[in-house]
Structure 1
Amino acid sequence: MFGIVDYGMGNLRSVQKALEFIGETAIVSGDPELLDGCEKLILPGVGSFGAGMREMRRTGLDTYVKERAVNTKILGICLGMQFLLEVSYEDGRNEGLGLIPGEVVRFEEGKIPQIGWNSVTRLRTPLFAGIAEGTQFYFVHSYRAKTEEWFAAAMTEYYVEYPSAICYGNVYGVQFHPEKSGEAGLKLLKNFAKIQDN
């Protein structure tokens, strides 16, 4: 069973519906006791980094997610992916969960936000098994990940090339929305469901 972490922000129901569509059971909850019964966690998100992390800290979900990451596979989506990094410069300087080294910075060129379909390349990790180079996914964001190549699981170009997926240990993140990305997005969620815990 999947646990979709509810910290008061995000597209929770659409992620749940996508998981149910591929035959997975998923609950939406901010209660650690309920989330403890879930084999995998998804950290979704839409909104601002600062407000989201403040709410995570207020509820203690920041500590909970970090503790679960030791032996549980976690997938961050969009803002949820950005939370996985060490720091963001949205709404000033805000500390993230620090599960993956790197920072979140604003696009400096082009039309902001990036909204719409874009190609994902240089794919690695089991998340992208059976997904072709250049497959398009749906993006909506004004800030992007900045991290070392070692932690990049996929790249996308929007005026600059940036990591559109990241991974380290049990933790995975995608900047795009798999739940809004048609067959490719469903395939990625299926792949995540198949990844075995340590």
Structure 2
Amino acid sequence: MKHVVVVDYGMGNLRSVSKAAEHVAGNHARIKVSSDPARVRDADAIIFPGQGAARACMDHLIETGLEHSVQQAAKEKPFLGICMGMQVLMDYSEENDGVHCLKVFPGEVTPFRFPPTQPLKIPHMGWNQIAQTQDHPLWHGIEDNTRFYFVHSYYVQPADHSLTAGVCDYGHPFTAAIARDNVFAIQAHPEKSADAGLQLLKNFIQWNGTP
């Protein structure tokens, strides 16, 4: 049975993510929420969910010793980042006057900025379509341009555009999902995205980390 750890870094929607993962896992995987670096290192797969502020996230990861175990997991095993769990994979976030992140991938996290002539609300909140820009096992059974649920004020700008696995439009196109080797991350919340979100989580539980 696969052992999947949902990383607890003191913030975020851990219960809804873990319950959704348990629902789709059935008897194929055991889902555990943990803040123990050793459990993260020993897991077969990692889900790194989250919402909130980048600085608070990084501070907690460093204080608890989770920083290095999460970085190592992103190199070695199936890894799903959700919302903040996607953003902190980058080098740097502009949030809170600038925060150095996990540096798994080169890139920055930037706030939405709209001119007065384009008065869109921030945060970007609600249902929006994701256009799939690369084939990936986690898109299996999910139609292109399917709607997912978003809540965020910042978005990822990867330095390497080939990382982008999905694009959403809110005032302008932005990267809504990234994928490279054993890592897949999505800005939207699959645990709040009805059948499509559950399918993505099911795909992750079944995924062996091969693109």
State, as a whole percentage, how many aligned pairs show the same letter.
42
SS of the residue aligned with 1:111? Answer: coil
* 2:198 is equivalent to residue 186 of structure 1: yes
Contact 2:183–2:209 (CA<8 Å) still a contact in 1?
no
Tell me how many residue pairs correspond in the alignment. Answer: 198
Corresponding residue for 1:122?
132
> 1-side partners of 2:42 and 2:99: how far apart?
30
SS at match of 1:100: coil
Match of 1:10 among 9, 12, 20: 12
Q: Which runs of 5+ in 2 are unaligned?
A: 115-119
Q: 1:68 aligns with which of 55, 67, 73?
A: 73
More divergent stretch after superposition (172-181 vs 54-63): 54-63
Deviation at 1:67, TM superposition (A): 1.4
1: CA distance between counterparts of 2:209 and 2:82? 19
For 2:62, give the aligned amino acid.
R
- Which residue does 2:107 correspond to in 1? 102
Post-superposition offset of 1:168: 1.9
Amino acid at match of 1:166: I
Matches of 1:137 and 1:79, distance apart in 2: 16
Deviations 1:125-180 (A, max 9, x none): 21111211110000000000112320101000000101100122222110000000
Deviates more, 1:72-81 or 1:123-132: 123-132
Match of 2:85 in 1: 80
The aligned counterpart of 2:148 is: 137
For 2:95, the equivalent position in structure 1 comes to 90
1:72 deviation in Å? 0.8
**Bigger Cα displacement from structure 2, 81-90 vs 93-102:** 93-102
1:174 equivalent among 186, 191, 195: 186
Offset at 1:32?
2.0
Unaligned runs of 5+ in 1: none
Q: Secondary structure at the match of 1:25?
A: strand
Compute the TM-score of the two structures, normalised by the length of structure 1: 0.95
Task: Give the ranges of 4+ consecutive aligned residues of structure 1 lying more than 6 Å apart after TM superposition.
Answer: none
Q: In angstroms, what is the RMSD of aligned CA positions? A: 1.3
The one-letter code sitting in structure 2 at the alignment partner of 1:168 is R
Secondary structure, in 3 states, of the residue corresponding to 2:51? coil
The residue matched to 2:76 in structure 1 has which SS? coil
Which amino acid letter does the alignment assign opposite residue 122 of structure 1?
Q
Structure number with bigger Rg:
2
Q: Which amino acid aligns with 2:162?
A: W
Q: How many angstroms does 1:115 deviate by?
A: 0.6
- Aligned residues of 2:181 and 2:209 also touching (Cα < 8 A): no
Tell me how far 1:121 sits from its aligned partner. 0.2
1:30 equivalent in alignment to 2:35: yes
Q: Deviations over 1:57-112 (max 9, x none)?
A: 11111111111222111111001110111110000111111112211000012210
Q: Which residue of 1 aligns with 2:162?
A: 150
